[in-house]
Amino acid sequence: MAEIERESMEYDVVIVGGGPAGLSAAIRLKQLDPDLNVVLLEKGSEVGAHILSGAVLDTCGLDALLPDWQSMDAPIKTEVKEDNFYILGPAGQARIPNWPMPPFMNNHGKYIVSMANVCRWMAGVAEGLGVEIFPGMSCSQLVYEGDRVVGVVAGEFGLGEDGQPGPNYEPGMELRGKYVFLAEGVRGSLSKEVIAKYDLSKGHCPQKFGIGMKEIWEIDPAKHREGTVTHTMGWPLGSNAGGGSFIYHLENNQVYVGFVVHLNYANPHLYPYMEFQRFKHHPMVADLLAGGKRVAYGARAISEGGWQSMPKMVAPGVALLGCSVGMVNVPRIKGNHNAMLSGKAAAEAAFDAIKAGREGDELAAYETEVRTGPIGKDLKKVRNVKPLWSKFGLVASLMGGGADMWLNTIGLTLFGTLKHGKTDAQATGKAKDFKKIDYPKPDGKLSFDRLTNVAFSFTNHDESQPAHLKLKDPSLPIRVNLPEYDEPAQRYCPAGVYEVIGEGAEARFQINFQNCVHCKTCDIKDPTQNINWTTPQGGDGPNYPNM
Given a cut of 90, whether residue 511 has pLDDT beyond it is yes
Check residue 308 and give its pLDDT.
Answer: 97
Judged by average pLDDT, the poorest of 122-131, 161-170, 192-201 is 161-170
d(CA 486, CA 49): 34
Given a cut of 70, whether residue 263 has pLDDT beyond it is yes
Check residue 203 and give its pLDDT.
Answer: 96
Answer with the residue of higher pLDDT: 185 or 1: 185
pLDDT tens-place string over residues 214-229: 999 999 999 999 999 9
Beta bridge partners of 260: 212, 244
Beta bridge partners of 214: 258, 298
Judged by average pLDDT, the poorest of 159-168, 170-179, 360-369, 520-529 is 159-168
d(CA 224, CA 228): 9
Q: Evaluate the omega torsion of the peptide bond into residue 396 and state whether it is cis, within 30 degrees of 0.
A: no
Segments of 101-172 assigned E as strands: 111-112, 132-135, 139-145, 148-154, 157-159, 165-170
Segments of 420-522 assigned E as strands: 469-471, 498-501, 508-511
Q: Is residue 234 within 8 Å of residue 88, measured between CB atoms?
A: yes
Query: Percent of the chain beyond pLDDT 90?
Result: 88
Judged by average pLDDT, the poorest of 339-353, 402-416, 471-485 is 402-416
pLDDT band (50, 70, 90) for residue 518: very high
Check residue 441 and give its pLDDT.
Answer: 97
Given a cut of 90, whether residue 434 has pLDDT beyond it is yes
pLDDT band (50, 70, 90) for residue 527: very high
Backbone φ and ψ of 66, nearest 5°: -135, 80
Average pLDDT over residues 70-74: 97
Average pLDDT over residues 27-37: 98
Given a cut of 90, whether residue 144 has pLDDT beyond it is yes
Check residue 395 and give its pLDDT.
Answer: 79
Given a cut of 60, whether residue 1 has pLDDT beyond it is no
Judged by average pLDDT, the poorest of 251-255, 279-283, 411-415, 488-492 is 411-415
Check residue 2 and give its pLDDT.
Answer: 57
Q: Is residue 404 within 8 Å of residue 384, measured between CB atoms?
A: yes
Average pLDDT, the chain: 96
